[in-house]
């Protein structure tokens, strides 16, 4: 039986959870059909490590930005800082950036400033923006829409688990929704319904590993190989075979992340 080819569009291979195991982690991913991965740098001080991982492994690409929960602890990033990163051939996206009012609402204003800087970098480079959004739906929809009116850019709502209203706002702008292990949790039927009502050509897959492992690994360390488990749930959600869903989400990834195609 041929294993469908899928992409983990968002993982964190530089995190200490994977220390000393990366070759095995990547081998297991490939054995599960996950031939490409985008490893995300969330603090620019970690960029050399993240970049080195991408350079050392075929099929691994990287993106970078300032995570909204880290905005207060990191030196301010400029548009020029982010644009300069695009010189690297394996650099494929801007972020993750966004808004997180669940844990860090006290830095909301600084998060919004940072988000707009990342949006401008995405606009200038033509690379996709990678958005983290938690407990900030209204501000997120407003800023994405305001900025899009100022000049087009493309975007994925990473690890989407927000409201139907934010999903609609993002989809109306031509953006993508990424399905993580959260969508595979038994109690996530409302979230699966949001995905099912979205156009198939706007859906991506990811792990956000080492976090959010899908069943039967929930509560344990996640890894890129487990994208295949979320893909099975996604296929069921859309009423498709795993082969057709894998092909669709891979084509979507190639369209959005053109440098990794």
Averaged pLDDT for residues 223-251: 98
Query: CA distances (Å), 41 to each of 11, 15, 45, 122, 220, in order?
Result: 9, 10, 9, 16, 22
**In this predicted model, what pLDDT tens digit does every residue of 169-181 receive, in sequence order?**
999 999 999 999 9
- Residue 1 clears pLDDT 80, i.e. is over it: no
What pLDDT is recorded for position 215? Answer: 96
- Give residue-wise pLDDT tens across range 17-73: 999 999 999 999 999 999 999 999 999 999 999 999 999 999 999 999 999 999 999
* pLDDT, mean over the chain: 97
Cβ partners under 8 Å of residue 55, min gap 6:
90
pLDDT greater than 90 at residue 257: yes
More confident residue, 2 or 81: 81
Q: For each of the domains in the chain, give its residue range(s) and CATH number, in order of start.
A: 6-260 (3.20.20.140)
Residue labelled with tokens 């844990």:
103
Which candidate, 184, 177, 199, 188, places its Cα nearest to that of 253? 177
How many other C-beta atoms can be found within 10 angstroms of the C-beta atom of residue 56?
Answer: 11
Give the model's confidence band at 2: pLDDT under 50 very low, under 70 low, under 90 confident, else very high.
confident
List Cβ neighbours of 214 (8 Å cut-off, separation of 6 or more): 181, 184, 185, 222, 226, 229, 230, 233
């Amino acid at each position: 039986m041929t294993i469908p080819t899928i992409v983990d569009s968002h993982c964190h291979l530089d995190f200490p959870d994977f220390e000393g195991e990366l070759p095995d982690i990547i081998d297991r991913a490939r054995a599960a059909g996950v031939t490409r991965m985008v490893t995300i740098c969330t603090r620019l001080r970690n960029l050399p490590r993240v970049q080195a991982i991408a350079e050392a492994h075929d099929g691994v690409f990287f993106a970078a930005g300032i995570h909204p929960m880290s905005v207060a602890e990191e030196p301010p990033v400029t548009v020029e800082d982010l644009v300069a990163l695009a010189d690297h051939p394996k650099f494929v996206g801007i972020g993750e950036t966004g808004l997180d009012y669940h844990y860090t609402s006290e830095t909301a204003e600084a998060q919004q400033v940072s988000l707009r800087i990342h949006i401008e970098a995405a606009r200038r480079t033509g690379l996709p923006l990678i958005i983290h959004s938690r407990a900030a739906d209204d501000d997120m929809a407003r800023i994405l829409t305001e900025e899009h009116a100022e000049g087009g850019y493309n975007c994925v709502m990473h690890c989407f688990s927000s409201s139907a209203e934010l999903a609609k706002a993002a989809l109306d702008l031509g953006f993508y929704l990424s399905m993580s292990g959260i969508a595979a949790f038994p109690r996530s039927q409302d979230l699966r319904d949001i995905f099912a009502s979205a156009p198939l050509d706007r859906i991506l897959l990811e792990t956000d590993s080492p976090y959010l492992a899908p069943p039967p690994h929930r509560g344990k360390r996640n890894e890129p190989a487990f994208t295949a488990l979320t893909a099975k749930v996604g296929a069921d959600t859309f009423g498709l075979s795993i082969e057709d869903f894998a092909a669709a989400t891979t084509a979507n990834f190639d369209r959005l992340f053109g440098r990794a195609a």
